[in-house]
Structure 1
Amino acid sequence: MNRDPTSNANATTSVGISDNRTPQPFEHGQLNSARVYDYLLGGKDNREIDRDMGDELLSRAPEIKSLVWFARGFGLKAVEMAAGDGIRQFIDLGSGFPRSPNVHEVAQGIEPSARVVYVDYDPVVHTHCDALLAKRHGVTALLGDIRNPHDILDQLKNHALFDFSEPVAITLVGVLHYVMDTEDPAGIIAAFRDQMAPGSYLALTHGSLDSSPEILEVLTGTDGTSAQVTFRTAAQTEALMAGFELLEPGVVPVQELLRPDLPSTRMVMLGGIGRKGK
């Protein structure tokens, strides 16, 4: 299939942020959030340091391997819901390494004309997305850091990837708990919300402070790396979705958004879907 004409938008701009939590392509000695997640999903794009962290988490709570699949399933369910409601433009923020089914497969399976943009701040992840996904019609990969949302919005507008006068759906699966309080997660959401047309969707997952204390203790080992996390309460997570009408049952563990028979886990991953009002 030929590359979409807009795929030259893969030429990226600097995110304007440089710190020790921003992944570098040749940094072998630090934890990497995308690689840990890939390992927990059973992938091969990870290194020993990432596997060690994953194994430490699994030793405390083996069900985390199921939880990452629950969270991923929730994100794809949200895409399916939005596509079924007529949304034809999708942004997957913090996309991570490609893994089928991907967002575009779900969205275009419902509406072949759907456009999907994968955004990640990890240059290696971006290269994978560009090589494996962005050759498909209507699919683009961008290098962008959600901590600099206006850079991402500028790329989307400058390359005419989206029409922001029409509804869009944004997924943030397993991303916002990597944004520290000082990096203004609420402001990040607000920057995108203010550009979204009425009827747009926002779906997110977020690590919960209701997780087992021993899990939270293990996660302190990620400090100073791209895998450093700040888990938040359900109320704090809901506050990040200000300006959206929360769909029932609100911000709850992702299991409750998938099926009522799924088991609870000691690491609690919250999920929620909001719609921007008319």
Structure 2
Amino acid sequence: MSQEINAYVKSEFHNGITTIEFFHPRSNSLPARILEELAQAVHSAGNDIETKVIVLRSAGEKAFCAGASFEELTAIKNEQEGLNFFSGFAHVINALRTCPQLVIGRIHGKCVGGGVGLAAAVDYAIAVEGADIRLSELALGIGPFVVGPAVERKVGKSAFAQLSIDASMWRNGDWARRKGLFAELHPTVEGMDESIARLSYTLSHSSPRAMAELKKTLWEGTDHWDKLLIERAAISGRLVLSDFTRQAIEKFKTA
């Protein structure tokens, strides 16, 4: 319980830039409350006419995001609860997709599962070496169904299949950059942050209307995601109830 209390989502506005930061003591994992607050924060920034660009980041110096909270996954008792939980990822991805501002992602460490989905759902991900990625869902008996469309949109079907099928293998940041998930990969955190500051400053002084129109073209063909991602959430919500998934999660927790 104390860990959940320490978890947070916060937004800061400065000179046209809204920075949204999330944190959870367990490697920035994503329980339902954090997912809900993230979606709300993105919606709020999206509706703020003073916000010209959004920066999405997580706290700490280790993992960017460890994906779904294992504690909440094992607490799911029925399909409706499963749907509700995985819909949280759908709401965050759709919020990032539909907000009119361009979103820069600060990827400072490893991304697992839903964390890869967040990195894929931002418009421009800037990462540092060591930001390895892994879609571990199949190893848990679930599959990356909700984040899949966002990841596939960035890296293509072949690379998405590689990530999805070999669910235990880490891909390094250079692989992610070459496949298009990361727009930039820097050798140091300082270099990453300098690039984020440069780009966010430039975008904060660019035309909001032009950026909004550009974003529409970048996300063309995704209007059906409001329905699609909820349908995908229902698949994960059913699969998470299996004995296989329960046992796999316990193994991951003790590894």
TM-score (norm 2): 0.30
TM-score (norm 1): 0.28
Between structures 1 and 2, the one with greater helix share: 2
